[in-house]
Structure 1
Amino acid sequence: MSSHEEAPLLQVRDLEVVYRTAGGSVPAVRGVSLTLEAGSKLGVAGESGCGKSTVALALLRLLPKTARVGGQVLLEGEDVTRMRWGRLRAVRWAGASIVFQGAMHSLNAVRRVGDQVAEPMLLHGTAPPGGVEARVGELLESVGLPRWRARSYPHELSGGQRQRVMIAMALACEPRLIIADEPTTALDVMVQAQILRLIDDLVAGRGIGLLMISHDLSVLAGTCDRLAVMYAGRVVEEGPADEVVAAARHPYASALSAAFPRVGDPASRMAPSGLPGDPPDPAALPEGCSFRPRCPVAEDRCSSTDPDLWEAGGADRRAACVKVLAAEEAG
């Protein structure tokens, strides 16, 4: 067995992303580490501005030239950050693909959707000559669309249908990894449930890995095996998705979970919790713990300590909070 076969599907090690701006350097992602095995689903949660989408774009080097990237992004043991452009073009779509939110903005409005699904296959040579049309039909059917929809333009499809087309495109070259960045944000709840069920079935049936990004913990908890919560460019909690949502160890993850009403829980439905204020400006991070200005349980030492991820009740649970460290030491 080769080292590539032994390596996890995706390993992100100490990822740093700094944007160069007229006002100076802005740290958008600070030391993020994630691991995803084939056939598994990892969710990344957090408010807008916490660095989730920057992480997604960094995985396939889709960031603008103003971004400086550090750390490693290992896709089946191969570092994406060090790939030559020819190798990187081969990896995109074929090794890993991405589904963006807002399919109408991602699809070409003046091309038929079948041609757009076929494009990555033609570029990578993954469909036999003369078999592209049949393959497009198979892909559309695999995401619940009839073959004849290949002749449609994006504006002739509903929001849910367009999102299915985006997923078909992502699957076109049979990648090992799919990155889904807020894939259901613009959809109504019924269509959202259908898309999430479709994604779940495709991951289970094909044995691929899914990294799904959302601000909605309830969506991620119902879809993913593990969950990483980000705040101010860092992962502040990581663990099994259901455990993180039900019993978060970091006060930010706890507040994020409490912000969503729970079906069957009148208290949360009538008075969902929330947090005052917004995540800090990455260009002006507070001293110590970045969450301290909004934290309901902050202590004096939080103003001088920016904690790392520590074990939080088990080897598969970690949280970046001084209270977690104190509890582990006391136990």
Structure 2
Amino acid sequence: MSPTGTPLLAFEDVSVTYRTSGGEVPAVRDVDLTVASGEVVGVAGESGCGKSTLASTILRLQPPTAKVTGRVIFEGEDVQTMKWGALRALRWAGASMVFQGALHSLNPVQRVGAQIAEPIELHQPSLTEARVRSMVGDLLEQVGLPAARARAYPHQLSGGQRQRVMIAMALACGPRLIVADEPTTALDVMVQAQVLGVLEGLVRELDVGLLMISHDLSVLAELCDRIAVMYAGRVIEHGPADKVFSDPLHPYAAALSASFPRIGDPAARYAPAGLAGDPPDPAELPAGCSFHPRCPKRFDQCDTVEPELRWPAETRSREAACLLVGPS
């Protein structure tokens, strides 16, 4: 599940379980995935499929009730075994995060310039106030905002402008990896396109890695080099973004792709596709393939056999966890 060369980030057999009063609940199961410098990798799936939990392991942000197994390797070092000093240096300067919902992530009573300046001041305490202020202005201009907006409070900015502020904060300390968790949620399509354009331009210009989390396969297909589709905590399909979106191998990936109507497509207009039901409760996963209760292509063996990721015989660039996908 990796391109050629040494990856910037690698998940190696990563699983995350939460301790609850009813026992351990698996949120992420046996994930292998990589991100290289200058590469955009997408993680897709419905709410509750484990996308954000997986992302939280990169900066060790999971709560005390979480247990992580496997390895999360960033630039050759396992994040889960880092000492506190190394982890503190990793956050912001090595990898940073653009959280979902900028209005809830920004401090409403503090000017946005001060919030962008905070990580710079923490990681580079020797800088003068004037230099930090200049860097904040440069960061805002880098994401398409006037430097003067540094004096604004979050409520004085539009949704797209607040999201750009979040991206500027993520870039403040020159990270090599950016994790964007649903960065375009609740934005209109025009602003969404602008924000995605900013992210893509920064990745290519600065040669940083980007892990993009979204439920919207069409967004990921536009921005990403590769996409991993998650369901019930597992990666159930992985491959080039255009192929996963236009010609998915797994029935769940096909349902995700079909759930977004295509302009000019009569089939989508007159018979919009969807998927009944919800992802399974992680505490009560069904036997066999986790997707089989909702799968339109299920057969008897799906009730008892949980398929592993397999390469189709005709290609080595894609893989899917489905019994309908024959091994090479």
TM-score (norm 2): 0.96
2:117 aligned with 1:118: yes
Q: CA deviation at 1:210?
A: 0.4
What is aligned with 1:242?
Answer: 242
> In 2, Cα distance between the equivalents of 1:127 and 1:310?
52
In structure 1, the gaps of 5 or more residues are 1-5
What is aligned with 1:51?
Answer: 50
Q: Which amino acid aligns with 1:316?
A: S
What is aligned with 2:322?
Answer: 321
Q: CA deviation at 1:127?
A: 7.3
Q: Which amino acid aligns with 1:39?
A: G
The two structures, once aligned, show a CA RMSD in angstroms of: 1.1
What is aligned with 2:196?
Answer: 196
Aligned partners of 2:121 and 2:127 also within 8 Å: no
Q: What is the identity percentage for the equivalent residue pairs of Structure 1 and Structure 2?
A: 65
Give the direction of change, closer, same or farther, for the CA distance of 1:286–1:21 in structure 2 (3 Å limit): same
> In 1, Cα distance between the equivalents of 2:153 and 2:166?
13
What is aligned with 1:265?
Answer: 265
> In 2, Cα distance between the equivalents of 1:126 and 1:102?
29
Q: Which amino acid aligns with 1:193?
A: A
Question: Helix, strand or coil: the match of 2:324?
Answer: helix
Runs of 4+ in 1 over 4 A off after TM superposition: none
Q: CA deviation at 1:126?
A: 7.4
2:100 aligned with 1:107: no
Q: Which amino acid aligns with 1:122?
A: E
> In 1, Cα distance between the equivalents of 2:125 and 2:292?
51
1:203-231 CA deviation, whole Å, 9 max, x = no partner?
00000000000000000000001000000
What is aligned with 2:170?
Answer: 170
1:260-298 CA deviation, whole Å, 9 max, x = no partner?
101221211332211111000000000010001011111
What is aligned with 1:3?
Answer: none
Question: Helix, strand or coil: the match of 2:293?
Answer: helix
1:308-330 CA deviation, whole Å, 9 max, x = no partner?
100023111000011102xx46x
Q: Which amino acid aligns with 2:108?
A: A
> In 2, Cα distance between the equivalents of 1:28 and 1:217?
21
Q: Which amino acid aligns with 1:162?
A: R
> In 1, Cα distance between the equivalents of 2:181 and 2:302?
32
> In 1, Cα distance between the equivalents of 2:82 and 2:14?
16
Aligned partners of 1:289 and 1:307 also within 8 Å: yes
Give the length in aligned residue pairs. Answer: 322
Give the direction of change, closer, same or farther, for the CA distance of 1:126–1:315 in structure 2 (3 Å limit): farther
> In 2, Cα distance between the equivalents of 1:195 and 1:271?
31
Question: Helix, strand or coil: the match of 1:178?
Answer: strand
Q: After the TM superposition, which of the residue ranges 258-267 and 180-189 deviates more from structure 2?
A: 258-267
In structure 2, the gaps of 5 or more residues are none
2:224 aligned with 1:224: yes
What is aligned with 1:212?
Answer: 212
> In 1, Cα distance between the equivalents of 2:125 and 2:245?
40
